[in-house]
Structure 1
Amino acid sequence: MTAQAATPVAVDDLTLRSVTDLLLRRLAEAPDADAFDRPQGDDLERVTTRQFVDEARALAAGLIAVGIQPGDRVGVMAPTRYEWAVVDFACWFAGIVVVPIYETSSVEQTAAIVADAGVRHVVAGSARHAEVLRSADPSLTIWTMDDDLGALAAGGASVTTDELERRRALAGRDDLATLVYTSGTTAGAKGVRITHGNLVGLVQQIAHAYADVVHDRANTVIVLPLAHILARALQVAAVASGMRVLHHSDPSTVASAFSKARPTFVVVAPRLLQKIADAVGRRALDARLGGAFAAARRTAVDWAQHLEASQDEPGRRPPLGLRVRHALFERLFYARIRGVLGGRVQYLLSGAAPLDADLARFFWGAGLPVIEGYGLTETTAPVTGNLPSDIRPGTVGRPVPGAEVRIADDGEVQVRGLGVAPGYRNKALDADAFVDGWFRTGDLGRLDADGRLILTGRAKNILVTAGGKNVAPEPWEEAVSAHPLVANAVMVGEGRPFLAALLLLERAEVSAWAARHKLDALAAQLESMAAGPGGVRVPSPELQARLQRIVDRANARVSRAEQVKAFAAVVADTDPVHGTFTPTMKVRRDALLAAARTHVEALYSRT
């Protein structure tokens, strides 16, 4: 019998026909409330809802004045910044379909999206992005956020208020709002047709289910690329609910953004959480408090397990010893970890990649509850999620309101609901993507007794060894990648006599490790190493021995048939331009293994 779980629609205001209706409702409620934090030099300038609407409308008029018609596609290729939001809503005010392009895309990738979507006009973040776009298609009309938006808006002065409202009102729930191209870990990018109804319906449900998180007293920093649907959906939800937003695109300086904005809620990738934990751990080692920090991690996990149990048994008190330890480490470590995120964060939302359950418990125990969710571009972001009052590490929660999940006989996760897009721009792809109205995610999973989804792997990643054993590589890979020395672990073994792996090293972490252990030759080698997309092997016996212990621990967590017998440690260039990584830094497995074929063959030639 097929396992299935659903959550009914919580609210559906039928007067809200398009994304701009969400914004105008907020304008009517609180025109002078702060909607955005906009960087001005070293300071932040507050932008009210009224100011934002005026900017978006003025730019919409400019787009209309240059002749862009309803339903036309306008591309946006820029880092995450305030102007991205203005362009997004301006296009929707003008009845235009937005086509985001990752700012890291190569000329070839950009050309493919522009041609497939029928884009003739593009807003670029800077002259550098404009040059990529010009190389992709010399016939494009390109405006840059840095230089051209003011003049473009000024050119719309002749467009009347009535004409602007007529254009805005053309969009209904079934009309296309944005064409978002998947980053494609296993195939080429596909344009997903996301409607106004997808965004409006999902935002209403999220605002209801997560009212403790997304509200008009909250604020957030958006760090994810706005070409990613999760960031776009979060931005729409924030605008609709009155949650103040600061955009920030540089991961290396994100701590300063957190310090300035002091957000109450942040969406993070699991890798950022791992980096924060690792950075605190390194500082503890440098201060000769490594043992204390290890004890603090164990205590945080224990505390989170108590909190998890307390959700079912309210009023439970933690044991005295745990309370004492937790209070000690609160002063020593936990408050400092919260300080890295600005000191006011009440919740973290983790998505886009699997999150190790004990890493989630560590942050929860340190006072930063992590709400893990699951979604895809085709579901307009979250289709399941844990709730603030019901956090279960190791699961991605129950269906959000208006969504249904079922597990097919072969273990595939299939979904339907308000957020599920109607299909692809290339409608020939829809036949394989949908079955009986359910979207086939390609992910493998199961539902627990309470309807929470537990993901177990990707169907297309299943390896079949020479002995006929089917192996899902993700559990082993996630266990190894959780270590700070390893950026990505990629298991291989299709048709082979045993399983092996490529370990893509986190160069900065390995360099720091080498310095701590006085391995000067290794540190010098890493500093001078020029690595292509296929990677360069790091022949260090000391590092090999350390990685072997990491591999052994991961092997202990899986069955004998799923254990890795050999591995190669490599440093690789992860720039998405090479095609081995997506713009969101997910491994394109087939492309990476093709680039690293020499290393893979060497693993098997030894035997």
Structure 2
Amino acid sequence: MRDIAFAPPVVPPLTGGLADGLFDLAGRDPALPLLARRAGTDAGGWEEVTAAEVRDEVVDLAKGLVAAGISPGHRVALMARTRYEWTVFAYALWAVGAEVVPVHPAAAREQAECILRDADCVAVVVEDEQGAMTVGTVCARLPRLRHVWQLDADAVRELARRGARVPYTTVESLRRIVLPDATAAVVHTSGTSGRPLGCALSHRALAYRADTLPAGAHAAAAPGEQPSVLAFLPFSHVYGIMIMVSCVRGGVLMAHLPEPGEGALASALATFRPTYLYGVPSVFERTYKGFVRAAERAGRGALFERAARTARDFAAAEERRRLGRGTGPGLELRGRHALYERTVYRGLRAALGGRVRRGGSGGCALGPELSLFFQGIGVHVHDGYGLTEVSGGITLQPPGREKSGTVGRPLPGTEVRVADDGEILVRGPSVFQGYVGQEEATRAALRGGWLATGDIGRLDAEGYLTITGRKKEIIVTSGGQSVAPAPLERRLRMHPLVHQAVVVGDDRPCVGALITLDPEFLAHWRAARALRGDPAGRESREEYALREELARAVASANSAVSRAESIRVHRVLPEPFAVADGLLTPSMKPRRDAIARHYAAEIDAMYAARSPARRGAREPADWDEPDDVFR
């Protein structure tokens, strides 16, 4: 082993199941607002539900589940968006000792069938008729599946009515026999590099990881103010579940936003006004691009660019001071930052609701440029690293000791090692119990008590972890050059026009990239550069200008790597990758194998357009100039 970092435990051991956290909170502080949902048809209103009210709804639903024959150890799938009923159902299932199996609401029929069969589910909760139809087409092949409950058909109320005669003591007895090491959820991996596997996560694992997170949310709230979180990422991913459990156990007010589109998210942020913002890097990238677009529309693009550069410089200087490596921002930089605080940064924070001071990013690494930007405008985004197999979290930036470019230090109770080949190994109480029905895969992942993450990285002298790639995603060109795609993709996405980017190049003479454009920013870009002249000539000049802009984006990404690792060819695709077409995971990460198969013809054409035969080149090194190929 090359490096090791360990953080001692700081939370008391769990004595029961996850439902106990809700019941204990409701007993201590019954009037505390705990969950929030949209108030009827009023898009600007929110209805707050107290801890005692949530507990009572959970009890009524749990009684209905008992009446329907749900018993300890039964697995029930939840196939719905991030809505209030998802949380109530999860805690009702945990109260009777059942296990939650999250399924993404947009899962294709084959995906849903695979998860329901592998997890041996006895029931599934769907959101609407579309979900019911998806499950209905595979019911005949799932003999254990006995119930399909539909939320939009008032399933919660119907089950509560069905369980009206079940004594409260029945639920209480079932809740009290749930042990910490019993399985609480079977959460499937994202499947970026293969078939998703069901990770069995215990009550202890989820509670332990959740209990280490509320400190950041509480620190974001003003003195005497209840911390609040807007939940909009899918609960089908472990990140969403971790936030949900953390909020309930920590007494953080959590609002549910089922539709996470840019407009809906902006409206919810403005009306709910959370104190803590969590998301995946693409959320923060979209937010940044929204700021750029709004500034340019207002004719303040140059001002915003200067303010953004000042924010990054100020945050970098502050970071060096916090880490004992500098004296902090100088007088001139402090003056510029104060000016932009009054003219720019205050307005940016207002667009996030006005109360956000801290946030968390997970799913994949957040670029240092973006991290420094948000810190510079007064929103400290704590980048972290985790996997489904460790209940969501491994490392997190410590508040007040953030180090951009890293994913922080190990969370309490977690031990991290870097093997000789660079693979990150993890040990601690939040590690999963194994892959359901996959003993061979479990043995391959758990080696002597250590989880082999499949990610590669390094630890510095202070225990901060940097992710440099994923073993299965490393690209090896035909010239033998190994390339980690994630850093290049992250830098490409920083350009406002670039929506998604996937780097390719296995067994090819050089590295290439598939790019999708941000439709909203593209429309804005075209409007801002409205060209005169005949339509044909105007279209040709516009395409040339777009090629030039994307060439600059590629050049910026290439500036961070060696020439041998740089992108030499790229192709712009007509449509973005999506979860529905199987090209994105529920956590919005690209399914690389699926994308490579789906766009095989486009990738071949991209390289053929720059083939050595056509250019007279004989060596991969001769592919010097980046070239874009529009479909």
- TM bin, normalised by shorter chain, reads over 0.9
Choose the corresponding residue for 2:303, options 259, 272, 292. 292
1:203-602 correspondence to structure 2 within 5 Å? 203-207=210-214, 212-213=219-220, 217-250=226-259, 251=261, 252-313=263-324, 318-425=329-436, 426-518=438-530, 540-602=543-605
Q: CA 1:285 to 1:207, structure 2 compared with 1: closer, same or farther past 3 Å?
A: closer
C-alpha separation in 2, matches of 1:446 and 1:316: 27
The answer to whether residue 34 in structure 2 is matched with residue 35 in structure 1 is: yes
Contact kept, 8 Å, 1:511 with 1:523, in 2: the verdict is no
Per the alignment, do residues 238 and 314 of structure 1 end up closer, same or farther by CA in structure 2, a change over 3 Å counting?
farther
Q: Give the corresponding residue for 2:24.
A: 25
Equivalent residue letter for 1:590 = D
Q: Which runs of 5+ in 1 are unaligned?
A: 525-537
Deviations 1:345-393 (CA, angstroms, capped at 9, x unpaired): 1201111122110111111110111111110111111110012121111
Structure 1 residue 216 displacement after superposition: 7.7
Cα displacement (A) at 1:523 = 12
Quick check: 1:194–1:421 contact (8 Å CA) kept in 2? yes
Which range is displaced more, 577-586 or 27-36?
Answer: 577-586
CA contact (8 A) 2:220 2:356 kept: no
The answer on whether the counterparts of 1:64 and 1:94 sit within 8 Å (CA) in structure 2 is yes
Q: Which residue of 1 aligns with 2:620?
A: none
Q: Look up the SS of the partner of 2:407 in the other structure.
A: coil
Does the alignment pair 1:48 with 2:37?
Answer: no
CA distance in 2, matches of 1:440, 1:210: 30
1:143 paired residue number: 149
**How much has 1:520 moved relative to structure 2?**
9.3
SS at structure 2 position matched to 1:577: coil
TM superposition shift of 1:575: 2.8
CA 1:116–1:483: 2 relative to 1, 3 Å: same
Once the 2 structures are TM-superposed, how far is the Cα of residue 207 of structure 1 from its aligned partner? 4.2
Q: What displacement does 1:331 show?
A: 2.0
Quick one: distance in 2 between partners of 1:568 and 1:396?
31
Contact 1:9–1:205, Cα closer than 8 Å, also in 2:
no
Residue type of the partner of 1:593?
A
- Residue 4 of structure 2: SS of its match in structure 1? strand
Q: Is the 8 Å Cα contact of residues 209 and 400 (structure 1) preserved in structure 2? A: no
Report which stretch shifted further, 410-419 or 5-14: 5-14
- Give deviations 1:126-178, integer Å, cap 9, x for gaps: 22222212123256521122222101111112211221112112211110101
Contact 1:216–1:242 at 8 Å: present in 2 too?
no
Q: Deviations over 1:413-470 (max 9, x none)?
A: 1111111112110223111112221111111110011011000111111112222222
Please, which moves more after superposition, 458-467 or 391-400? 458-467
> Per-residue CA shift, 1:88-130, capped at 9, x if unaligned?
0000111111111001101110011111111121111222222
Q: Closer, same or farther in 2 for the Cα pair 1:151/1:315, shift >3 Å? A: same
When residues 24 and 480 of structure 1 are mapped into structure 2, their CA distance, relative to the original with a 3 A threshold, is: same
Post-superposition Cα deviations, 1:70-103, rounded to whole Å, max 9, x if no partner, equal 1101111111011111000000111111111001
> Structure 2: where are the runs of 5+ without partners?
612-631
Equivalent position SS for 1:212: helix
Structure 2 residue aligned with 1:177 = 184
- Contact kept in structure 2, 1:458 and 1:472, CA below 8 Å: yes
Q: Deviations over 1:8-36 (max 9, x none)?
A: 1112244x321112122212221111111
Q: Is the 8 A contact 2:217 2:276 kept in 1?
A: no
> In structure 1, what residue type is equivalent to 2:466?
I
Shift of 1:323: 2.1
Give distance in 2, aligned partners of 1:480 and 1:565: 13
**SS across alignment from 1:372:** strand
Instruction: State whether residues 475 and 483 of structure 2, in contact with CA within 8 Å, keep that contact through their aligned partners in structure 1.
Output: yes
Q: Which residue of 1 aligns with 2:9?
A: 9
How far 1:317 moved relative to its partner? 5.9
Question: Is contact 1:515-1:523 (8 Å) kept?
Answer: no
Structure 2 Cα separation of the partners of residues 172 and 431 of structure 1: 25
Give the Cα separation in 2 of the matches to 1:168 and 1:521.
73
Does the 8 Å CA contact 1:134/1:140 hold for their aligned counterparts? Answer: no
Change (3 A) 1:599 1:263: same
**What do the CA deviations read for 1:164-206 (whole angstroms, capped 9, x no partner)?**
1121122111101011111200011110000011012223333
Q: Please give the per-residue CA displacement for 1:307-361, whole angstroms capped at 9, x wherever unaligned.
A: 2123235995632222221122112211111111110012011111221101111
Structure 1 counterpart SS, 2:382:
strand
Contact 1:507 / 1:571 at 8 angstroms: preserved in 2?
A: no
- Structure 1 contact 348–371 (Cα < 8 Å) conserved: yes
The answer on whether the counterparts of 2:59 and 2:168 sit within 8 Å (CA) in structure 1 is no
Q: For 1:520 and 1:402, how far apart are their aligned partners in 2?
A: 63
Q: Deviations over 1:204-238 (max 9, x none)?
A: 33346775259982111111111111111111111
What SS does structure 1 have at the residue aligned with 2:219?
coil
How many Å apart are 1:514 and its aligned residue?
A: 2.1
TM-score (normalizing by structure 2):
0.90
Q: Name the counterpart of 2:624.
A: none
| Structure 1 length-normalised TM | 0.94
- Say whether residues 1:128 and 2:130 are aligned partners: yes
The one-letter amino acid of 1:95's match is: G
Distance in 1, matches of 2:410 and 2:116, equals 34
Distance 1:240 1:496, change over 3 A: same
Distance 1:365 1:447 in 2: 26
